[in-house]
Structure 1
Amino acid sequence: MLTALAAVSILGAAGCAGAEAGTPAGAAADAPATTGPEETAATGPAETGAAAGEQAYRDGTYTSTGSYQSPAGPEEVGVTLTLEADVVTAVEVEPKPDNPTTREYQGRFAGGISDAIVGKKLDELSVDKVAGSSLTSGGFNDATGKIKSEARL
């Protein structure tokens, strides 16, 4: 079905090529594919309440502890984030395990989180699973939410 839609788009673009001088025949076929992401990118800052170019968080280093539920019971993880112009420039996760299995997973998470978030805007962080650890992300996200509240301008 996608092939048929692509063929129709190309044929439609070829039929309209004479109407607009200088417009490549493939331009019309590309337009719908790029409209969605451009609209999303353009509306992103408005959704966060910050105008383009405005900083939403104070620069600095922030530390918090997040909680989450593991099969063995409640667990916590320490999180330290360094922010510059709303971008995470450094992260440190302090494992605080109550059992050996949690120790293993929090250690994996701590070892892989930097690659997943450094260089991203704080409001764009959405950590789900890092280095095979999916539950620790709940504690990380909890701590990050507290850090957002503390750092907000």
Structure 2
Amino acid sequence: MLRPSALPKPVRIGSALTGVAGIVALAGCTAGAGGATSAGAATYKDGTYSASGTYQTPETTETITVSITLKNDLVTNVQVTGEPRRPESQQYQSQFIGGISDVVVGKDIDQLSVSRVAGSSLTSNGFNQALDQIKSEAAK
């Protein structure tokens, strides 16, 4: 049998990474800060919550308002409204608003982090900012 020090370096690193991955997977089974417990208990109060988020474009700072309805930590409805200051922002906000429901409705709120919706990527920054505020407000 080979001693660990006699094993080639990639094998030792691979074994270490496998061990770390197992620990991380097991850590997900406990109650986390703001996350659901392993028993599946809801961590957010049911209801409808609204918040605003801002994001930077090359020309200006834009604002969107996000309204999310929660039931058992799942998003059951989402509405986004914007007040675009530039024609390009109006186009991208419209695309985002048209596609956001398909991305978030039916999902656990703790699993949401939107990066690009219907070709709009900057609007996502404002959405995620508003989402963080909503999660804080809805936390039990």
Scaled to the shorter chain, the TM-score interval is 0.7 to 0.9
User: How far off is 1:42 after superposition?
Assistant: 7.3
Paired position in structure 1 for 2:41: 54
Larger Rg: 1
Letter in 2 for 1:98: R
User: How far off is 1:47 after superposition?
Assistant: 3.2
User: How far off is 1:40 after superposition?
Assistant: 3.7
Instruction: State the alpha-carbon separation in 2 of the partners of residues 128 and 89 from structure 1.
Output: 20
Letter in 1 for 2:90: R
Instruction: State the alpha-carbon separation in 2 of the partners of residues 53 and 135 from structure 1.
Output: 33
Cα distance change, pair 123–73 in 1 and its aligned pair in 2 (3 A): same
Paired position in structure 2 for 1:140: 127
Instruction: State the alpha-carbon separation in 2 of the partners of residues 148 and 59 from structure 1.
Output: 11
User: How far off is 1:50 after superposition?
Assistant: 3.7
Cα distance change, pair 112–41 in 1 and its aligned pair in 2 (3 A): farther
Report runs of 4+ in structure 1 exceeding 6 Å deviation: none
User: How far off is 1:41 after superposition?
Assistant: 8.3
TM-score (norm 2): 0.77
Letter in 1 for 2:105: V
Paired position in structure 1 for 2:73: 86
Classify the secondary structure of the residue corresponding to 2:53: strand
User: How far off is 1:61 after superposition?
Assistant: 0.5
Structure showing greater relative contact order (alpha-carbon pairs closer than 8 Å, 6 or more residues apart): 2
Paired position in structure 2 for 1:43: 28
Classify the secondary structure of the residue corresponding to 1:97: coil
Paired position in structure 1 for 2:7: none
Q: Which runs of 5+ in 1 are unaligned?
A: 1-35
Letter in 2 for 1:105: Y
- The alignment of Structure 1 onto Structure 2 pairs a total of residues equal to 117
Considering only aligned residues, what root-mean-square deviation do their CA atoms show, in Å? 1.9
Q: Give the structure with the larger helix fraction.
A: 1
What percentage of residue pairs aligned between the two structures are identical?
50
